[in-house]
Amino acid sequence: MRLKDQVAIVTGAAQGIGAAYARGLAREGAAVAVVDILDPNPVAKEIVDSDGRALPMVVDVSDEKQTQEMARKVKETFGRIDILVNNAAVYGTIVRKPFEEINVEEWDKVMAVNVRGIFLCVKSVTPYMKAQKRGKIINVTSSTFFKGNANFLHYVSSKGAVVAMTRSLARELGSHNINVNAIAPGQTMSEANLARGEGTDAHSTQSRLLKGRRLFPEHLVGTIIYLSSSDSDMMTGQVLLVDGGTAFH
């Protein structure tokens, strides 16, 4: 077990890719706060039923009061906070449309969760990580930022901001021995994408170097564990693309 006695927070972990991250970190021995606006209890129960440690928490990451309380409760329950995986985002519920049709409310909602949410979650945990003189923050961006993508301007812009935040936070937190890195998944067969039939067409697999291979949430977990573990101690400000070879940077 590579993360024994460590404590992780995974946001957006009630379903999809975030749930896979939470299960994966727990398998490596970490206690995991399973955070979401949806019911986090089923994923937390699965972890506990597999002899892991989990704390289900209903938290809206765009609300500062709630993120502050999240960090306080995790520290109170498990005694420390070592890892934060900023996975929560408005993604699966977005209806793709030309940018002229995206209204200001939709734009602001995406930015509030995908950008402000990361800012607030990082702000909530860094006092504890600084006191421990150690921490691992992993932000979830997307390969879409490297490729550009039509009919998705608010989302792609938000994921660009995640890259910018990763680099700037790495500069600001490095002296506290806090690593800030990001994962950029390619199109992944999470429930959200399976439900809308995405990624099953020829286009999405043909453009990959690893032809014919579809990306599933489990394919992303190893990178999260690597970025959470001491194996990545000398890496910060980096973005790891895990997308089957669709984009390079």
Smallest separation, CB 2 to ligand NAD (Å): 22
User: For residues 197 and 234, which CB has a smaller minimum distance to ligand NAD in the complex?
Assistant: 197
Marked catalytic residue, from 21, 91, 128, 155: 155
Smallest separation, CB 16 to ligand NAD (Å): 2
User: For residues 149 and 177, which CB has a smaller minimum distance to ligand NAD in the complex?
Assistant: 149
Smallest separation, CB 223 to ligand NAD (Å): 12
Q: In one letter, which amino acid is 237?
A: G
The three-state secondary structure class of 183 is: strand
What is the distance between the alpha carbons of residues 188 and 192, in angstroms, rounded to a whole number? 9
What is the distance between the alpha carbons of residues 60 and 6, in angstroms, rounded to a whole number? 24
Residue in this structure with the two tokens 């030309």, named with its chain if needed: 98
User: For residues 54 and 61, which CB has a smaller minimum distance to ligand NAD in the complex?
Assistant: 61
Exposed e or buried b for every residue in 189-223, given b needs 16+ CB within 10 A? bbebbeeeeebeeeebbebbeeeeebbebebbbeb
Smallest separation, CB 4 to ligand NAD (Å): 26
User: For residues 177 and 216, which CB has a smaller minimum distance to ligand NAD in the complex?
Assistant: 216
Told to judge if 155 belongs to the known catalytic residues of this protein, a careful annotator would answer: yes
**Which residues contact ligand NAD by CB under 6 A?**
11-12, 14-18, 36-38, 59-62, 87-92, 113, 117, 140, 142, 185, 187-188, 190-193
Q: Kindly list the strands in the beta sheet with 31-36, ordered across the sheet, starting from the edge strand earlier in the chain.
A: 54-58, 31-36, 7-11, 83-86, 135-140, 178-185, 239-242
Residues catalogued as catalytic: 155
